[in-house]
Amino acid sequence: MRTSPFPAELTAAVDPGKLPGIIFSGWQSPSNIAFIKYWGKRPLQLPLYPSLSMTLQEAFTQTLVEATLHDGNPSPIMINNDPAHPFLGKLAPFLDWFTVKIPVLNQYSFRITTRNSFPHSTGIASSASGMSAFALCLLTIASEAVSLQLPNEHLMPMASFAARMGSGSACRSLFGGYTVWGETDLIPRSNDLEAIGITHVVHPSLTSLHDAILVISRQPKRLSSSKGHETMNRHPFAEARIEQARDHLTGILQAMKEGNLERVGSIAEAEALSLHALVMSAAGGAVLLEPATLTVMNRIREARSLGLPVFFTLDAGPNVHLLYPEENKSQVQRFIENELAPYCTDGLWIDDLCGAGPGRIEEVTRSPEFSS
């Protein structure tokens, strides 16, 4: 199996005397919502089976990294001027992994400024957007340090490979549109090490799909993702789940190709319910759904039976992602305001849609965050 996608120029030892003293990099990277859920993993952050997601547009992280050459004693990593920022728990081991793979990064100290476009604990995966943005920043810094040009078609798969080590679902945030992570015969070049964009095999009608995130609760997660994934190692239904996810992938890919929203939506719903059934039936399992989650899911199905093209999916929490097509926007938004918003915390719901993927933040050196 391949162990690294990085070219020799990035992985070679370097003479510190030849390196730039300071390098800035800034990237905006989106979150994503899975239609086929990643749940359970093997060592080295490899999935048990392929997952499929839609990239979001409005839910993103913007990360700016200032890398300063040190003289052998790196300064502590700072996130938003805080050397004890809570995100460091996940970010520091990720940076350690990066510096082993790309040793030139060892020569630098890092100051990171980061912000999310969306509120925390609302059912949007900030680890996907945050880790993918950080991976892009570090790869850009490393390539600039060794004067290597990395066009996006090379950079994005490398960033996906790297982001996976920060958080599995983050590897699906690099390509825009729809993405699959995990080896399947159905998609040429798909593999477990990085995700691959599949929008070219998706019907154009699905590239403007909306995802309205209905915020049922903003309580902290009852089950961390790492604990959740771990339960699949000895789950009584693991084998059946893997088979089901593979069948769902076959079905959804065909439906996406045809632009069959009804079928895409019903598979997304079945996946969401399976995910929660797995969580509930695991040893030491948890119930992550709230009563209002059930009411909202039922209301969505009722509205659908009356002709409104609305579908739901869920992350590993109580908040509901409502999927609907662009052409029904005003009708669906009225339905949300009138019938679903009363079940949301403070009436909060966030309208998002299928997005274009990461973008470089230009003019980073002139950003006010870096002026001292």
- In the complex, the residues that contact ligand 2P0 under the rule CB under 6 A are 34, 37-39, 45, 51, 127, 167-169, 225-226, 229, 275, 315-316
Residue 174 near residue 358, CB atoms below 8 Å? yes
Q: Could you tell me which residues come within 8 angstroms of residue 77 by beta carbon, excluding any fewer than 6 positions away?
A: 83, 88, 91, 92, 95, 109, 110, 111, 112
Q: Could you tell me which residues come within 8 angstroms of residue 310 by beta carbon, excluding any fewer than 6 positions away?
A: 265, 300, 303, 304, 322, 323, 324, 328, 332, 335
Instruction: Name which of 178 and 335 has its Cβ closer to ligand 2P0.
Output: 178
Tell me the closest approach of the beta carbon of residue 37 to ligand 2P0, in angstroms: 4
The Cα 243–Cα 192 span in angstroms is: 17
Q: How many CA atoms lie within 13 A of 10 on its CB side?
A: 22
Tell me the closest approach of the beta carbon of residue 90 to ligand 2P0, in angstroms: 8
Instruction: Name which of 226 and 233 has its Cβ closer to ligand 2P0.
Output: 226
Instruction: Name which of 38 and 60 has its Cβ closer to ligand 2P0.
Output: 38
Tell me the closest approach of the beta carbon of residue 317 to ligand 2P0, in angstroms: 8
Question: Minimal CA–CA distance to 261: which of 322, 305, 342, 325?
Answer: 325
Instruction: Name which of 33 and 340 has its Cβ closer to ligand 2P0.
Output: 33
Tell me the closest approach of the beta carbon of residue 224 to ligand 2P0, in angstroms: 8
Report which residue's Cβ sits closest to ligand 2P0.
Answer: 168
Question: Minimal CA–CA distance to 256: which of 171, 187, 157?
Answer: 187
Tell me the closest approach of the beta carbon of residue 318 to ligand 2P0, in angstroms: 13
Instruction: Name which of 260 and 274 has its Cβ closer to ligand 2P0.
Output: 274
Instruction: Name which of 19 and 286 has its Cβ closer to ligand 2P0.
Output: 286
Q: Could you tell me which residues come within 8 angstroms of residue 22 by beta carbon, excluding any fewer than 6 positions away?
A: 66, 67, 68, 69
For residue 251, report the phi and psi dihedrals to the nearest 5 degrees: -65, -45
Tell me the closest approach of the beta carbon of residue 41 to ligand 2P0, in angstroms: 6
Tell me the closest approach of the beta carbon of residue 108 to ligand 2P0, in angstroms: 25
Instruction: Name which of 91 and 150 has its Cβ closer to ligand 2P0.
Output: 91
The Cα 353–Cα 351 span in angstroms is: 7
Segments of 162-268 assigned E as strands: 178-181, 195-197, 210-214
Instruction: Name which of 67 and 275 has its Cβ closer to ligand 2P0.
Output: 275
At 94, the amino acid letter reads F
Q: What is the DSSP letter of 20?
A: -
Tell me the closest approach of the beta carbon of residue 293 to ligand 2P0, in angstroms: 14
At 221, the amino acid letter reads K
